[in-house]
């Protein structure tokens, strides 16, 4: 399988997936004012911590919230009687109506333990800024590490592969307008860590083969053989992760759905970019260097 020789095809496939997402994000920005469907962690909202006097289920609470068009509201259960409900900003009257309906259709709650907190948009802006700073810092540190371990061109190729994974994940969330919360930021950072690990394994094999390079051996052939030698490891690793994430997506509930979906998209994209983008991109950089020489 000539992966490096067909690198233009793999790059084109990546662009065909990334470009619709970028177009959608631009369209959302111009029409809605935001490229992603930001949750209350970013935009601000209300957090209702309520403890009932009997055992409850998420389905019971969600059925009540449907009456107020809040069926997609994240709900977390702690034990069998305590729930945390995260909603957009609610007026006092609407908030009281929800509580009254919950009391009538789900069960009476302990008014003394009821807590209602509001998250302001200022906190959301700070979270957005910190998320971007975290991504930038992680990228810079990885380039420094890869340059120290390998060479600078390896670092640039790895960062391009990581940006590939981030843009694909963002694109899917923008196209399908899935809600983005603070767990999504954690998922993006996890994707970066997973993807760079897979890429480093392939780079390490390339370096080993370069040290044992036979006289006259073509660089493209050497890199292609290195990718194939680690292919089984890469596929087996990503499949085991996909199995776990698929189980979480089906049985994990609505609370972690955003986190799981982002991870699933990012892990698949990360496996693709590590095999088909990162190393072929390094070959392109080496060719440019030889061309300048």
Yes or no: say if 200 and 252 are a contact pair by the CB < 8 Å rule. no
Per-residue model confidence as pLDDT tens digits over 57-114? 888 898 888 888 887 777 888 888 888 888 887 878 888 899 889 888 888 888 778 8
Per-residue model confidence as pLDDT tens digits over 282-293? 999 888 776 654
Yes or no: say if 179 and 33 are a contact pair by the CB < 8 Å rule. no
CATH of the domain at 92: 3.30.70.3400
CA–CA–CA angle 143, 145, 151 (5° rounding): 70
Mean pLDDT for 104-132 is 77
Round to whole Å and give the CA distance between 137 and 53. 47
1 located within any domain: no
Going by their DSSP bridges, the two strands 179-180 and 37-38 should be labelled as parallel
pLDDT of amino acid 82 = 87
Same structural domain for residues 82 and 183?
Answer: no
- In DSSP terms, which residues pair with 118 in a beta bridge? 46
Q: Is the pLDDT of residue 266 over 80?
A: yes
Percent of the chain with pLDDT over 70: 96
Same structural domain for residues 98 and 199?
Answer: no
Residue 108 in 3-state DSSP?
A: coil
Residue 285 in 3-state DSSP?
A: helix
151 located within any domain: yes
Residue 292 in 3-state DSSP?
A: helix
pLDDT of amino acid 123 = 59
How big, in percent rounded to 5, are the helix, strand and coil portions of the chain?
70, 10, 20
Domain that residue 50 falls in: 45-119
- Which of 82, 86, 81, 113 has the alpha carbon at shortest distance from 98? 86
pLDDT of amino acid 122 = 61
200 located within any domain: yes
pLDDT of amino acid 219 = 87
150 located within any domain: yes
DSSP output for 40-70: HHHH-EEEEEEEBSS---HHHHHHHHHTTT-
Same structural domain for residues 222 and 90?
Answer: no
- In DSSP terms, which residues pair with 48 in a beta bridge? 85, 116
Same structural domain for residues 151 and 284?
Answer: yes
Yes or no: say if 85 and 152 are a contact pair by the CB < 8 Å rule. no
Same structural domain for residues 19 and 157?
Answer: yes
Same structural domain for residues 184 and 61?
Answer: no
| 15-19, 114-118, 146-150, 271-275: least confident range | 114-118
pLDDT of amino acid 74 = 77
Domain endpoint, select from 93, 119, 145: 119
Same structural domain for residues 282 and 196?
Answer: yes
Per-residue model confidence as pLDDT tens digits over 233-259? 999 999 999 999 999 988 877 678 888
Q: Which residue has the higher pLDDT, 42 or 50?
A: 50
CATH of the domain at 237: 1.20.1640.10
Count of domains forming the chain: 2
Same structural domain for residues 129 and 163?
Answer: yes
203 token code pair = 């780079």
Same structural domain for residues 115 and 243?
Answer: no
Same structural domain for residues 113 and 169?
Answer: no
pLDDT of amino acid 226 = 92
Q: Is the pLDDT of residue 127 over 80?
A: no
Torsion of CA 59, 60, 61, 64, to 10 degrees: 110
2 located within any domain: no
Residue 37 in 3-state DSSP?
A: strand
Per-residue model confidence as pLDDT tens digits over 174-225? 999 888 887 888 898 889 888 888 899 999 999 999 888 887 778 889 999 9
Domain endpoint, select from 64, 84, 119: 119
| 19-23, 125-129, 150-154: least confident range | 125-129
Same structural domain for residues 172 and 254?
Answer: yes
pLDDT of amino acid 45 = 81
Domain endpoint, select from 119, 140, 171: 119
Same structural domain for residues 273 and 135?
Answer: yes
249 located within any domain: yes
153 located within any domain: yes
């Amino acid at each position: 399988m000539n992966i490096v020789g067909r690198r233009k095809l793999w790059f084109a496939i990546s662009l065909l997936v990334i470009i619709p997402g970028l177009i959608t994000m631009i369209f959302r920005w111009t029409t809605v004012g935001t490229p992603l469907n930001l949750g209350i962690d970013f935009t601000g909202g209300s957090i209702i911590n309520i403890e009932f006097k009997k055992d409850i289920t998420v389905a019971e609470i969600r059925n009540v919230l449907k009456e107020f068009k809040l069926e997609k509201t994240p709900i977390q259960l702690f034990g069998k009687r305590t729930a945390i409900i995260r909603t957009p900003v609610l007026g006092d009257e609407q908030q009281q109506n929800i509580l009254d309906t919950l009391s009538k259709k789900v069960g009476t709650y302990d008014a003394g333990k009821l807590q209602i907190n509001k998250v302001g948009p200022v906190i959301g802006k700070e979270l957005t800024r910190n998320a971007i700073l975290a991504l930038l810092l992680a990228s810079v540190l990885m380039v420094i590490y890869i340059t120290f371990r390998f060479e600078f061109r390896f670092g640039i190729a790895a960062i391009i592969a990581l940006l590939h994974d981030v843009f694909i994940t963002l694109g899917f969330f923008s196209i399908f307008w899935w809600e983005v919360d603070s767990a999504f930021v954690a998922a993006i950072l996890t994707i970066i860590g997973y993807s760079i690990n897979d890429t480093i394994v392939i780079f390490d094999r390339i370096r080993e083969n370069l040290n044992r390079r036979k006289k006259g051996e073509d660089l493209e052939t050497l890199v292609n053989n290195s990718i194939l030698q680690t292919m089984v490891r890469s596929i087996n690793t990503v499949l085991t992760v996909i199995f776990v994430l698929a189980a979480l997506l089906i049985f994990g509930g609505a609370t972690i759905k955003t986190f799981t979906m982002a991870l699933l998209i990012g892990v698949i994209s990360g496996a693709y970019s590590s095999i088909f983008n990162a190393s072929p991109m390094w070959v392109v950089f080496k060719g440019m260097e030889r061309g300048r020489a």
